[in-house]
Structure 1
Amino acid sequence: MTRELAYRQEAAAEYDCAFSHVSAHFVPYLLRAARLTPGRRVLDVATGTGIAAEAALAVVGPEGLVVATDISPEMVEKARQRLGLAPNAFATVENGQALSFPADSFDAVLCSLGLMFFPDPALGLAEFRRVLRLGGRAAASVTTTPERSYNARINVAVARYVPSLAAATARTFSIGDERRLRFLFESAGFQDVEIFTEAYSFTLPSFDAYFGPFERGGGSSGQALVTLPEEVRRAVREDVRRELENGAGPGGPVEVPVEVLFGSGCK
């Protein structure tokens, strides 16, 4: 096994510990934005471990269909495990900017906290629209700012010590503005575009409960961490700890404020 493959498997294995509760909290807003109803055919792009796909399956029911896709084979395997033996759900490896599905294939397209990682989000939205049937709806959620992101504060701390990562980190927030996200949806040809924001503060019993899964390689933030020298990892940990504990003292609970921006539109 190559070192790179081992890192990807660690990211997938620890993702749910690190981030699943955050995704699960905001997914119902995404499903409502997509206006899912029973019997719909749904494509979930950048599915990760399949949290949004599983929730969509519960809505569309046995007469519907859910296709979960991700560019990471390791994440797709986790999504397959989550979706289990449901005969009307499957997971497959896909590039969200170049989907292999024919035009007019789905009633809804979902993208839960993934669009900001696309090299070209505009191209991704154009693909979402292409695979939608006429009257179908796409919905995407993105982070807004580092200080209101569950895990990107870690990426920002990493970038302080690895300046070459700063541009990529900043890019993940480039569409976290209401006007920018609306512009992208409308430029892709979507109609009836709706943009809204939801916020929630997550309480963790300790800083270690928050940071531990990332230290073990969970998600993109964890993968950025595990490749760093030990002294840099310690410095990043201390920076993030000071930010979250905010003078409350070590060992107690920490509050992690999160804000998510939602955009949706109709073909």
Structure 2
Amino acid sequence: MAEIKYNSTAAGGYDQGFARVSTHFIPYLLRAGRVAVGQRVLDIATGTGLIANAALAAVGPDGHVTAADLSPNMVDQARRRLGEVSNVAVRVEDGQALSFPDGSFDTVLCSLGLMFFPDPASGIGEFRRVLRRGGRVAVSVNTVPERSYNTRIHVMIARHVPSLAPAAARLFSLGDETRLRSLFENAGFEDIEISTHSHRFPVESFDAYFEHIERGWGSAGEAFVALPEALRHLIREQVRSDVGDRVGPIEIEVEFRFASGRK
């Protein structure tokens, strides 16, 4: 089965294409995780370090943040963002097989990463293992393709490239509230909370929206630019129809579901 990955172009362009979307939802994740001054926080699937940077500000100089991602390209981007601050560490980690000792962190955060895991239950189990007693895990996930910013494009590509269908479906596999809650319950979490938040992002035109995809930014862009030219044109027009382009400004509705639980 094809996997969704980030090459250097996809990782390097992530912030230009998607940072404003991710940044809007950061406060919801930090609140779900009860991030506070002095805590030790793990941000797994950190991407370019947006969540880790916000967590670093929340924990203050007496806290510590570890930013980790499976993609070395993303880790390079996170290092550039987080710099040489003494109370932050950036490293390559597999979220399903973390290298940290049991009980290492007060909070574990995972923004839009868990659905990429081949086995999300294994990932949640690892998050719990490295959490101290009484600590909290908080994750965010996509809900449905029609309320996503760019991951809807994976689904459209998969209609024409069947080998990508399982990976595309996985991006929305945790959006169901019942399944997400069960994942936390089966891992042994208590005080589980689920919330859903949405926002409509204005874009000046469809061309402006789709430009980042045509540049190969993000995982959707990486998948798109690898396609034959005729198929790229077809998918571009299908996306145009899907977002309701009427030649002028458009709005993209984005919805994330947040789940948290206490060890």
Q: TM (normalized to structure 1)?
A: 0.95
Show the counterpart of 2:235.
236
2:122 match: 123
Tell me which residue corresponds to 2:152: 153
The CA deviation string for residues 166-187 of structure 1, in whole angstroms up to 9 with x for no partner, is 2221122111011110000110
1:249 aligns with 2:246: yes
Report how far residue 135 of structure 1 moved: 0.5
User: 2: distance between equivalents of 1:82 and 1:254?
Assistant: 30
Q: How far apart, CA to CA, are the structure 2 residues paired with 1:191 and 1:259?
A: 25
What displacement does 1:87 show?
0.9
Q: Does 1:258 align with 2:258?
A: no
Instruction: List runs of 5+ in structure 2 lacking aligned partners.
Output: 1-5
Map 1:130-169 onto structure 2 (within 5 A).
130-169=129-168
Q: For residue 3 of structure 2, what is the aligned residue in structure 1? A: none
Give the Å deviation of 1:43: 0.2
**Partner secondary structure for residue 202 of structure 1:** strand
**Deviations along 1:229-263, whole A, 9 cap, x unmatched?**
1111111111101221x2x522x111100110000
- Give distance in 2, aligned partners of 1:214 and 1:87: 36
1:4 alignment counterpart: none
What's the offset of the Cα at 1:152?
A: 1.7
Letter in 2 for 1:253: P
Q: Deviations over 1:24-82 (max 9, x none)?
A: 11111000000011000000000000000000000000000000000001100100111
Unaligned runs of 5+ in 1: 1-6
What is the CA–CA distance in structure 1 between the aligned matches of 2:11 and 2:130, rounded to whole Å? 27
Give the drift of 1:163. Answer: 1.9
Aligned residues with identical type, % of pairs? 62
Structure 2 residue identity aligned to 1:262: F
2:162 counterpart letter in structure 1: P
Q: CA deviation at 1:85?
A: 2.2
Aligned residues: 258
Provide the C-alpha distance between the structure 2 equivalents of 1:114 and 1:19, rounded to a whole number of angstroms.
Answer: 15
Separation in structure 1 between the aligned mates of residue 112 and residue 172 of structure 2, nearest angstrom: 11
SS, match of residue 175 in structure 2: coil
SS of the residue 1:102 aligns to: coil
Query: How far did residue 134 of structure 1 move?
Result: 0.5
Q: Provide the residue aligned with 1:29 in structure 2.
A: 28
Matches within 5 A, 1:1-267: 8-244=7-243, 246=244, 249-250=246-247, 252-267=248-263
User: Aligned equivalents of 1:67 and 1:234: distance in 2?
Assistant: 41
Secondary structure of the structure 1 residue equivalent to 2:8:
helix
Counterparts of 2:218 and 2:237, CA distance in 1: 20
d(CA) in 2 for partners of 1:52, 1:264:
16
- Residue aligned with 1:136, SS: strand
Q: Output the aligned Cα RMSD.
A: 1.0
Deviations 1:78-110 (A, max 9, x none): 001111221101210000010000000000000
What letter corresponds to residue 174 of structure 2 in structure 1?
I
**Separation (CA, whole Å) in 1 of partners of 2:85 and 2:240:** 42
Q: Which amino acid aligns with 1:259?
A: E
Work out the CA distance in 2 between the residues paired with 1:242 and 1:154.
12
SS in structure 2 at match of 1:210: helix
Find the aligned partners of 1:209 and 1:16 in 2 and give their Cα distance.
15
Cα distance between partner residues in 2 of 1:55 and 1:220: 23
Q: Out of 65-74 and 165-174, give the one that drifted further.
A: 165-174
TM-score by length of 2: 0.96
Q: What CA distance in whole angstroms lies between the structure 1 residues aligned with 2:119 and 2:249?
A: 38
